[in-house]
Every structure is written in structure tokens, then in C-alpha cells.
């Protein structure tokens, strides 16, 4: 597929646009809900509980979401998940005031996360059928770029909406984003149905078959494990960076925002570079390099003597994050049989969510006991060690046929 064909691939761009709008809606909702809960309770614990609640459906519903993505029309599943959450949010606008406002905020976040547990596996499983195998890296790079922009713009938009309006207005706006996402996907319904799971097979049995498939495919299991390890260690870095800025660099906590902005800029820059590289991207070598770069950046962050050094390191970290997402998503999509692709991608999402929760639970004791520099050094070293099995895959793959985007 040439660059011109890629640009003119309407179905692919609709999936990318739908995913970008959906991610923006998620970030608008979770940010606005956090603001609303804190305004009502003045409790950090209440906000933390809200954020933890957002991760629960990814863990609990991922097996079912992946199974449905392999059993049903994937575009139809995306449309239904968006339409249902839009209806839930619109219904919630009528109840958002008064004593139920807090409960509605928690319920809205839970419902949106539950919707994403079905939408994301279907989207990721559908993507390879809409583009040539050699263009998967480019397609995922555009997708990550759209998602990153949504992650930047969503919270800013939520803050603007909450500054002069109530949470009900945000829910109504967010419902609109999901309806737009559903509208983008309607024309793809029936375009291509996945290989059906046996009709008599229960959802639980089908989900377990997906686990067994992932376990037996060594290349998929190795990459999934590397993602999980990175999420655990990355959560320690994320949770400890604010303390590092305040205690080690002796700077105002507001500088933490500057670090996050630079990290996002690094991610966007590498996503653009990957779009230009296109099919020349070697997925396993890129994933290995991204693991090493991310690990080295994490380990060196604690040694940064100034904000300028820390900003440079965070830019590398952002690049590493996008490198991992593009290379490993494309590789898993490429290596997974179509009949199991939804379950593989949902399992990866579940492992990533579990890893992040585990890392957040470890972060406080690790940073408090050992200090941010030591905790960051250990986390970075573990990420770099996780690159070794992936490098082994890259070498063995290179002896046969390199996995390219």
C-alpha cells in the first residue's frame, strides 16, 4: 500500500477517528468526574477511589469483551458500546443534581470504562483487516498520535467545561462524543465479520481458549509479559515523579505539569516519525529499543540534577512509551490469528491494567522507603531486563523473516 493509498483508506481513517473521539470522551469524563468528586468531598481518597474504579471493568470484563470481538461483527460491537454509554450518560444528566450527584459521577465513570472494555478490543482486532500488513505500524502510529492528542485535549476541555457548568453539562457533551464515534463506525458494519467462535461454546470457555492460545504462542506471551512488567515499573515512576520534583529537585509541584507536557511532546514527535517511516519499521527491534530507552530514562530520571535534565529525560520516556505501543500493538495484531485477535488484545489490556494497579500499590512504599532515585533506578533496570526476551525474539525472527510494520 502506497502513502497515497494509505491516506485515501477511508475505512481505516474512520476507525482511527472513532478511537480518537472515544479516547477524548473518556478523558473528558474522568477528568470532569475527578473535579466534581473533589469539589463535593474535598477528599483525595474519594478521587483515588474513582480512578481505581475506572480500571476495574478493564480487568473484570476484558475476557468477555475480547470474546465478543472475536465472535461478533467488530464494527457493530463498537457502535453498540458507544451508543449504550451515550444513552447512559444522557440518562445521568437528569439525575446529576442533588444528593445523587456523587453516585452519578462514579456510575458514569464505571459505565464508560465498561464500554471501553468492549470497544477497544474490537477496534484493535479490526484494524489489521483494514490495512496491508506492512502498514500496521503506520496505522498504529496515527492511532497513537490521535490518542495522545485526545489525552492532552480531553482534560483541558473538561477543565473548561467544569469552570462554568455543572457535571451534567459534561455528561451531555461526552454523550455527544460517543455518538460521533458510533456514527463514524456505522458504515463499516457488515464489511467484514471475524472468523466465528463455535456457536455452542460458552463465553467463559472461549475466553479460556484465548488465554491458552496466548500462553502457547511464545512470541505473543513474551511481548505480553514485557508490556505487563513495563506497566508495573512505569506506574512507580508516574506516582513517584511528583515527590521527586518536590523533594529531590526542590521545585514547586507545579513543575510536574511541565514534565508531563514534555513527555507528551516526545510521544507526539516519535509517532510522527513512525508515520513517515511506515513499512520500514522493524517491530521487534523497535520494541526492544523502546524498552531499553524507557528503562534507561526511568533509571536516570532520579539522577537528574535539574529541571532541564529531567525534561530531556521525560521526552525520551514519552518516545519510549509510543515506541512500545506502536511496535508491540502492531506485532501482536500481526502474529495473532484473526479468530483469536480480539481475545489477545483484551488480555494485553487486562495485563496492562493489572500491572498499573500493582505498580501504584508498590510506588508509595518503594519511594518512601528507598527514595525516588533508588526506586527509579530499580524500576528502570527491571524494564531493561525485560527487553532481553524480546531481543531474543528479534534475533530468531531475523533468521527467518523480520517482522515489519
Whichever domain contains 56, its CATH number is 1.20.1250.20
Q: Per the domain annotation, does 200 fall within a domain?
A: no
Range in 133-137, 261-265, 315-319, 365-369 the model is least confident about:
133-137
Residues 42 and 188 in one domain: yes
Residues 168 and 279 in one domain: no
Confidence of residue 213 (pLDDT cuts 50, 70, 90): very high
Mean pLDDT value of segment 272-296: 90
Give residue 193's pLDDT: 56
- 139 burial via Cβ count (<10 Å: 0-12, 13-18, 19+): buried
Residues 20 and 137 in one domain: yes
Give residue 395's pLDDT: 87
Angle at 235 between CA 234 and CA 239, to 5 degrees: 120
Residues 158 and 259 in one domain: no
Q: How far is residue 341's CA from residue 367's CA, in Å, rounded to a whole number?
A: 38
Confidence of residue 400 (pLDDT cuts 50, 70, 90): very low
> Which residue segment(s) compose the domain that 376 sits in?
210-400
User: In this model, does residue 59 exceed pLDDT 90?
Assistant: no
Mean pLDDT value of segment 223-230: 95
Residues 222 and 189 in one domain: no
Mean pLDDT value of segment 272-291: 88
Give residue 75's pLDDT: 92
Give me the number of domains the chain comprises.
Answer: 2
Contact 338, 195 (CB under 8 A): yes
Range in 69-83, 95-109, 272-286, 289-303 the model is least confident about:
95-109
Of 202 and 195, more confident: 202
Residues 239 and 187 in one domain: no
Residues 229 and 136 in one domain: no
Give residue 294's pLDDT: 96
Q: Per the domain annotation, does 392 fall within a domain?
A: yes
Q: How far is residue 153's CA from residue 151's CA, in Å, rounded to a whole number?
A: 6
Residues 165 and 217 in one domain: no
Q: Which three cell numbers stand for residue 18?
A: 472513532
Q: How far is residue 313's CA from residue 383's CA, in Å, rounded to a whole number?
A: 16
Confidence of residue 196 (pLDDT cuts 50, 70, 90): low
Confidence of residue 245 (pLDDT cuts 50, 70, 90): confident
Looking at 134, 167, 194, the residue that finishes a domain is 194
Give residue 225's pLDDT: 95
Taking only the tens place, the pLDDT of each residue in 17-27 is: 888 888 888 88
Would residue 2 be called left, alpha or beta, if left means φ above 0 and alpha means ψ between -120 and 50 degrees?
A: beta
Give residue 254's pLDDT: 66
Of 368 and 176, more confident: 176
- CA 15 to mean position of chain CA atoms: 16
Confidence of residue 195 (pLDDT cuts 50, 70, 90): low
Q: Which three cell numbers stand for residue 75?
A: 464494527
User: In this model, does residue 83 exceed pLDDT 80?
Assistant: yes
Residues 266 and 185 in one domain: no
Q: Per the domain annotation, does 234 fall within a domain?
A: yes
User: In this model, does residue 364 exceed pLDDT 60?
Assistant: yes
User: In this model, does residue 78 exceed pLDDT 80?
Assistant: yes
Q: Which three cell numbers stand for residue 314?
A: 521525560
Residues 329 and 355 in one domain: yes
Of 255 and 146, more confident: 146
Q: Look at residues 240, 242, 210, 227 and name the one whose alpha carbon lies nearest to residue 377.
A: 240
Give residue 404's pLDDT: 57
Dihedral sign from CA coordinates of 295, 298, 302, 308: positive
Taking only the tens place, the pLDDT of each residue in 327-349 is: 999 999 999 998 899 999 999 99
Q: Which three cell numbers stand for residue 294?
A: 524507557
Contact 67, 206 (CB under 8 A): yes
User: In this model, does residue 137 exceed pLDDT 50?
Assistant: yes
Q: Which long-range contacts (CB under 8 A, 24 or more apart) does 151-155 make?
A: 151/23, 151/27, 151/264, 152/264, 153/24, 153/27, 154/23, 154/24, 154/25, 154/26, 154/27, 154/28, 154/31, 155/27, 155/28, 155/31
Q: How many CB atoms lie within 10 A of CB 60?
A: 15
Residues 384 and 281 in one domain: yes
Give residue 329's pLDDT: 93
- CA 400 to mean position of chain CA atoms: 31
User: In this model, does residue 86 exceed pLDDT 60?
Assistant: yes
Q: Which three cell numbers stand for residue 365?
A: 512504599
Give residue 250's pLDDT: 83
Range in 3-12, 29-38, 186-195, 328-337 the model is least confident about:
186-195
Range in 249-263, 267-281, 346-360, 372-386 the model is least confident about:
249-263
Q: Per the domain annotation, does 80 fall within a domain?
A: yes
Q: Per the domain annotation, does 73 fall within a domain?
A: yes
Cα-flanking dihedrals φ and ψ of residue 154, to 5°?
-60, -55
Q: Per the domain annotation, does 20 fall within a domain?
A: yes
User: In this model, does residue 108 exceed pLDDT 80?
Assistant: yes
Angle at 345 between CA 341 and CA 348, to 5 degrees: 145
Q: What is the DSSP string of 208-250?
A: HHHHHHHHH-HHHHHHHHHHHHHHHHHHHHHHHHHHIIIIIS-
Q: Per the domain annotation, does 383 fall within a domain?
A: yes
Residues 166 and 307 in one domain: no
Mean pLDDT value of segment 364-380: 88
Looking at 194, 228, 246, the residue that finishes a domain is 194
Mean pLDDT value of segment 382-403: 80
Q: How far is residue 54's CA from residue 30's CA, in Å, rounded to a whole number?
A: 8
Give residue 399's pLDDT: 47
Confidence of residue 11 (pLDDT cuts 50, 70, 90): confident
Mean pLDDT value of segment 68-82: 92
Residue 310, SS3?
helix
Q: Per the domain annotation, does 203 fall within a domain?
A: no
Looking at 194, 225, 251, the residue that finishes a domain is 194
Contact 367, 240 (CB under 8 A): yes
Amino acid at each position: 500500500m502506497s502513502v497515497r493509498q494509505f491516506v485515501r483508506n477511508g475505512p481505516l481513517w474512520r476507525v482511527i477517528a472513532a478511537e480518537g473521539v472515544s479516547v477524548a470522551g473518556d478523558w473528558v469524563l474522568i477528568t470532569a468526574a475527578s473535579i466534581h468528586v473533589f469539589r463535593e468531598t474535598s477528599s483525595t481518597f474519594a478521587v483515588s477511589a474513582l480512578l481505581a474504579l475506572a480500571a476495574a471493568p478493564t480487568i473484570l470484563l476484558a475476557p468477555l469483551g475480547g470474546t465478543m470481538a472475536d465472535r461478533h461483527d467488530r464494527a457493530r460491537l463498537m457502535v453498540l458500546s458507544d451508543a449504550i454509554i451515550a444513552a447512559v450518560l444522557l440518562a445521568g444528566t437528569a439525575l446529576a443534581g442533588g444528593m445523587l450527584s456523587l453516585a452519578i459521577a462514579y456510575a458514569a465513570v464505571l459505565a464508560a470504562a465498561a464500554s471501553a472494555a468492549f470497544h477497544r478490543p474490537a477496534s484493535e482486532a479490526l484494524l489489521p483487516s483494514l490495512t496491508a500488513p506492512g502498514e500496521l505500524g503506520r496505522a498504529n502510529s496515527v492511532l497513537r498520535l490521535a490518542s495522545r492528542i485526545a489525552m492532552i485535549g480531553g482534560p483541558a476541555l473538561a477543565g473548561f467545561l467544569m469552570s462554568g457548568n455543572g457535571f451534567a453539562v459534561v455528561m451531555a457533551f461526552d454523550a455527544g462524543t460517543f455518538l460521533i464515534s458510533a456514527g463514524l463506525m456505522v458504515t463499516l458494519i457488515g464489511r467484514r465479520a471475524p472468523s466465528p467462535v463455535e456457536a455452542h461454546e460458552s463465553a467463559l470457555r472461549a475466553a479460556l481458549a484465548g488465554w491458552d492460545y496466548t500462553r502457547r504462542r511464545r512470541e505473543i506471551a513474551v511481548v505480553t509479559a514485557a508490556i505487563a512488567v513495563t506497566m508495573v515499573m512505569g506506574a512507580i515512576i508516574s506516582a513517584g515523579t511528583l515527590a521527586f520534583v518536590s523533594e529531590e529537585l526542590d521545585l514547586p509541584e507545579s513543575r510536574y505539569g511541565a514534565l508531563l507536557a514534555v513527555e507528551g511532546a516526545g510521544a507526539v514527535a516519535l509517532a510522527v516519525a513512525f508515520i513517515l517511516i511506515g513499512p520500514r519499521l522493524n517491530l521487534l527491534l523497535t520494541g526492544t529499543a523502546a524498552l531499553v530507552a524507557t528503562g534507561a530514562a526511568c533509571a536516570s530520571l532520579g539522577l537528574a540534577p535539574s529541571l532541564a535534565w529531567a525534561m530531556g529525560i521525560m521526552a525520551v520516556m514519552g518516545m519510549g512509551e509510543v515506541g512500545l505501543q506502536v511496535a508491540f500493538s502492531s506485532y501482536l495484531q500481526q502474529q495473532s490469528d484473526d479468530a483469536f485477535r480480539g481475545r489477545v488484545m483484551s488480555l494485553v489490556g487486562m495485563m496492562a491494567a493489572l500491572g498499573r494497579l500493582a505498580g501504584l500499590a508498590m510506588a508509595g512504599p518503594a519511594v518512601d522507603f528507598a527514595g525516588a532515585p533508588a526506586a527509579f533506578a530499580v524500576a528502570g533496570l527491571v524494564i531493561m531486563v525485560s527487553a532481553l526476551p524480546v531481543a531474543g525474539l528479534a534475533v530468531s525472527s531475523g533468521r527467518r523473516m523480520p517482522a515489519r510494520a
